[in-house]
């Protein structure tokens, strides 16, 4: 029996039929719009009262979130009581904060420090639901999971959920500069308003931390990997500390990037040599100071000796020397170093795809215990498709963490709809074969395969000052999916998409199914209209906006698209087998054998690993040239189909978000066509082969595409 007064229920029903707030995407997936309780009666039967607990700020946040979510979804506030008095009570807390929970046989030892149990129980003979964890933040994660059940209309009467994160450090890397420019950011400025910090704590900081906690993200690297020493000065530490204070109740720790030459720039030293005692003393003092500002500071992310950044090699030291020096100063405080393996050098003629492996594998086992090596998913740089990095599996004595890119530097910026979870999943599920079949990348980074004591996954954030946070509504799904996969690398990209669609847009099956299908195919569409068949890095110089496969005159060879595609009169592709750069040999023998043989290499990676004749027959029966054009056309057609899918959803989604998605898809179709036409025009100028029957000639001559210039494309480095 629902004890809320009838007038309140009526009021709720009526009020909620009025527009409550603009549908501008600010709510993200935490969109607690009213459910129809006739279709989803569990909402009222299972949620009659919320049993409060007292304790930390984190528990207060969990309680407020549950109250807010339930009020939104049911249309009326839930009664908050000190002890359960009827059926339909919702309890939450830890054994320490709740005597009732302490008395339940929940076997909480299974969920570790951050996990939780959600279970249907009986309290004094009444059906109830309990959300319990060993820590307050575990309870908060459980609360968000419980709300997700409501948002996606799950049954609530026989709950028995046990969840714990598989990865310890689940981080967002913000490539945000102190002037609020976001490198590779396509959603406005940095949300960190450094100038007004610490005096003004924008409520958006709280909403950011809340969104992170809702998907299990527990750390935030505030600053760009192309680091600025100024972020380590007292004025900026005070600002970072203010953010840490806002994030703390949500279980989100603050990390910073360290510029390796900071001892020179800030300390006035002559050197940044990691073995120089003065340098070590400087870092120790600086790190001790950081912990005075931020007692739970997480540690440093470091990009060193890469793309012009300073590093230990400037002093003939190696990456381990550099990382261990910082690690030694961080260790007493519990801090860690995340040292990036994204290194390559224009002075090194070795295949760029090989360089990280060549530099890091010899250092396996040489890093301090509180160092993680952060490895990008592929050997080059966040392309629409790359094979997994050969480092995964190759450093059993050194914990490797994953670096994914959530922001779409190479996948159409904010206007292209590309759901990235299938890309993440493809990498996590990839089999390194390092210890036999099933040695997946996921098992490397979650520590199972090599017994890593420290584990992590980072995503380069797509969060900015745009009202909808991520630049587009659908890009929010990539933030969401990253968090979910960092919690559970075996989660299904399709299931995550379905959760997200239901939470963000609608539970209407007529909406959910086609929109999830559209998302699931979207990344492959980008691959096809940008870089099919294993091609990579054909994007415009610097900004990476639009096609420029013709570029071959940049001073750094590995910045030229021509370096990657190597198209000539005979064929196309980068030969990385034994007759070429032999990058394939960096994989474990069985994988190497497969990639080394063009016949065994999957077609979707063919041109990554091999230079192939234009006339080679493909699985389809087409020649490679015809297949390439076909793929480009297929990519464009896929976007057209996405538009049709979306346009058919008019009326099933609010007009405001419908219009933006529709407009962005129109831009995407136009730009997919541009990609296709420019690439086909260019490659045809090299292959000298006729277009296959039925393929339309490019809309403009090649020179037209070459002449286009985009000096103000967003997100520049």
Residue closer to a second copy (CB basis): 6 or 21: 21
DSSP one-letter string for 27-45: TTT---PPP-TTT-THHHH
Ordered strands of the 116-123 beta sheet: 79-81, 49-51, 89-93, 126-132, 116-123, 160-163
Closer by beta carbon to a second copy, 19 or else 308: 19
Encoded tokens for 515: 């929109």
Closer residue to a second copy (CB): 269 or 667: 667
* Spatial contact of 550 and 657, defined as CB atoms under 8 Å apart: no
Closest to 479 measured CA to CA, from 492, 493, 463: 463
Instruction: Report, as residue numbers or ranges, the catalytic residues.
Output: 307, 381, 409
Binding residues for a second copy, per CB under 8 A? 11, 14-15, 18, 20-22, 178-180, 188-189, 194-196, 199-201, 203, 230, 413-415, 465, 467, 656, 660, 663-664, 666-667, 670, 711-714
**Between residues 231 and 355, which has the closer beta carbon with respect to a second copy?**
231
CB of 204 vs a second copy, minimal distance in Å? 9
On whether the CB atoms of residues 369 and 454 are closer than 8 A, the answer is yes
Can you name the residues that pair with 50 across neighbouring β-strands? 80, 90
Beta pairing, strands 299-302 & 253-257: parallel
Strands 571-572, 612-613: pairing is antiparallel
CB of 429 to a second copy, least distance (A): 35
Closest CA to 135 of 160, 109, 159: 109
Alpha-carbon gap, residue 324 to 332, rounded angstroms: 13
CB contact burial 73-100 (16+ within 10 A = b; e otherwise): bbbbebbeeeebebbbbbbbbbbebbeb
**Which CB atom, from 164 or from 544, has the smaller least distance to a second copy?**
544
Structure tokens at 685: 């100028």
Query: Closest distance between a second copy and the C-beta of residue 323, in Å?
Result: 28
Alpha helices in 103-202 (DSSP H): 136-151
3-state secondary structure 615-642: CCECCCCCEHHHHHHHHHHHHHHHHHHH
For the CA atoms of 62, 468, 514, 151, what is the dihedral angle to 10 degrees?
20
Q: How far is the CB of 232 from a second copy (least distance, A)?
A: 14
Q: How far is the CB of 20 from a second copy (least distance, A)?
A: 7
Rounded CA separation 207/247 (Å): 9
DSSP state of 388: P
Nearer to a second copy, 379 or 714 (CB): 714
DSSP annotation of 458 reads: E
User: Shortest CA distance to 668 belongs to which of 636, 700, 708?
Assistant: 636
Nearer to a second copy, 495 or 659 (CB): 659
Give how far Cα 230 sits from Cα of 184, 303, 702, Å. 21, 16, 45
Residue 663 C-beta: closest distance to a second copy, Å: 5
The minimum distance between CB 412 and a second copy, in angstroms, equals 12
CB 546 within 8 A of CB 540: yes
Q: Which is nearer to a second copy, 153 or 204 (CB)?
A: 204
- Report in angstroms how near the CB of residue 185 gets to a second copy at its nearest: 11
Q: Residue by residue, what is the 3-state secondary structure of 650-691?
A: ECCECHHHHHHHHHHHHHHHHHHHHHHHHHHHHHHHHHCCCC
Q: Shortest gap between Cβ of 338 and a second copy (angstroms)?
A: 25
Question: Backbone dihedral region of 363: left (phi > 0), alpha (psi from -120 to 50 degrees) or beta?
Answer: alpha
Work out the number of other CB atoms within 10 angstroms of the CB of residue 615: 13
CA–centroid distance for 465 within its chain? 18
Nearer to a second copy, 278 or 663 (CB): 663
Distances (CA, A) of 707 to 279, 540, 547, 548, 551: 49, 12, 12, 10, 12
Q: Which is nearer to a second copy, 539 or 612 (CB)?
A: 539
Q: How far is the CB of 243 from a second copy (least distance, A)?
A: 15
Q: In 83-176, where does DSSP find H-type helix? A: 99-102, 136-151
Judged by CB, which is closer to a second copy: 429, or 654? 654
* Strand pairing report for 116-123 and 169-173: unpaired
Nearest distance from C-beta of residue 15 to a second copy, angstroms: 5
């Amino acid at each position: 029996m629902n004890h809320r007064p009838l007038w309140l229920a009526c009021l709720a029903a009526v009020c909620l039929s009025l527009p409550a707030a603009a549908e501008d995407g600010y709510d993200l997936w935490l969109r607690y719009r009213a459910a129809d309780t006739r279709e989803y009666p569990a909402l009222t039967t299972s949620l009659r009262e919320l049993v409060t607990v007292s304790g930390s700020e984190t528990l207060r946040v969990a309680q407020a979130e549950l109250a807010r979510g339930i009020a939104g979804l049911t249309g009326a506030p839930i009664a908050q009581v000190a002890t359960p008095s009827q059926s339909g009570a919702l309890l939450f807390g830890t054994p320490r904060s709740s005597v009732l929970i302490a008395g339940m046989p929940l076997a909480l030892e299974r969920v570790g420090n951050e996990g939780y149990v959600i279970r249907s129980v009986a309290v004094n003979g009444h059906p109830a639901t309990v959300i319990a964890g060993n820590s307050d933040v575990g309870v908060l994660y459980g609360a968000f999971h419980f709300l997700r059940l409501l948002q996606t209309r799950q049954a609530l009467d026989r709950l028995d959920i046990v969840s714990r994160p598989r990865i310890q450090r689940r981080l967002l890397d913000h490539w945000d500069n102190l002037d609020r420019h976001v490198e590779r950011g396509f959603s406005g400025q940095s949300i960190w308003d450094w100038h007004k910090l610490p005096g003004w704590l924008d409520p958006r900081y709280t909403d950011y931390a809340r969104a992170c906690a809702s998907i299990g993200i527990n750390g935030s690297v505030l600053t760009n990997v192309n680091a600025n020493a100024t972020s380590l000065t007292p004025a900026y530490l005070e600002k970072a500390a203010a953010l840490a204070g806002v994030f703390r109740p949500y279980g989100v720790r603050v990390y910073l990037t360290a510029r390796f030459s900071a001892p020179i720039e800030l300390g006035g030293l002559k050197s940044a040599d990691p073995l120089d005692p003065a340098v070590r003393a400087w870092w120790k003092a600086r790190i001790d100071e950081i912990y005075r500002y931020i007692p739970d500071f997480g540690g440093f992310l470091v990009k060193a000796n890469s793309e012009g950044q300073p590093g230990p090699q400037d002093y003939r030291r190696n990456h381990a020397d550099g990382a261990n020096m910082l690690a030694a100063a961080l260790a007493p405080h519990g801090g860690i170093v995340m040292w990036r393996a994204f290194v390559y050098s224009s002075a090194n003629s070795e295949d760029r795809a090989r360089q990280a492996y060549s530099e890091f594998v010899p250092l396996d086992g040489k890093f301090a215990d509180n160092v993680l090596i952060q490895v990008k998913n592929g050997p080059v740089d966040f392309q629409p498709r790359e094979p997994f990095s050969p480092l995964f599996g190759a450093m059993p004595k050194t914990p490797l963490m994953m670096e994914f890119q959530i922001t779409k530097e190479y996948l159409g910026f904010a206007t292209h709809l590309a759901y990235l979870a299938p890309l993440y999943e493809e990498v996590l599920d990839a089999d390194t074969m390092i210890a036999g079949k099933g040695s997946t990348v996921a098992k490397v980074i979650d520590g199972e395969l090599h017994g890593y004591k420290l584990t992590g996954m980072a995503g380069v954030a797509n969060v900015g000052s745009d009202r909808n946070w991520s630049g587009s509504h659908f890009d929010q799904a990539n933030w969401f999916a990253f968090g979910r996969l960092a919690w559970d690398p075996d989660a299904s990209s399709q299931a995550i998409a379905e959760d997200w669609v239901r939470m963000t847009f609608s539970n209407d099956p007529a909406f959910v199914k086609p929109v999830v299908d559209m998302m699931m195919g979207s990344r492959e569409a980008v691959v096809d209209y940008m870089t099919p068949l294993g091609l990579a890095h054909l994007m415009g110089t610097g900004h990476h906006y639009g096609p420029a496969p013709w570029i071959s005159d940049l001073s750094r060879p590995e910045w030229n698209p021509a370096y990657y595609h190597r198209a000539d009169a005979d064929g196309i592709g980068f030969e990385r087998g034994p007759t070429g750069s032999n990058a394939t040999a960096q994989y474990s023998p069985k994988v190497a054998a497969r990639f080394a043989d063009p016949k065994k290499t999957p077609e979707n990676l063919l041109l990554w690993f091999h230079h192939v004749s234009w006339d080679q027959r493909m699985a389809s029966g087409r020649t490679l040239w015809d297949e390439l054009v076909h793929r480009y056309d297929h990519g464009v057609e896929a976007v057209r189909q996405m538009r049709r899918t979306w346009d058919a959803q008019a009326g099933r989604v609010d007009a405001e978000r419908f219009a933006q998605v529709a407009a962005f898809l129109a831009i995407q179709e136009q730009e997919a066509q541009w990609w296709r036409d420019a690439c086909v025009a260019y490659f045809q100028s090299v292959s000298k082969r006729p277009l296959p029957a039925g393929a339309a000639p490019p809309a403009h001559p090649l020179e037209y595409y070459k002449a286009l210039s985009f000096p103000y494309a967003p997100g520049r480095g």
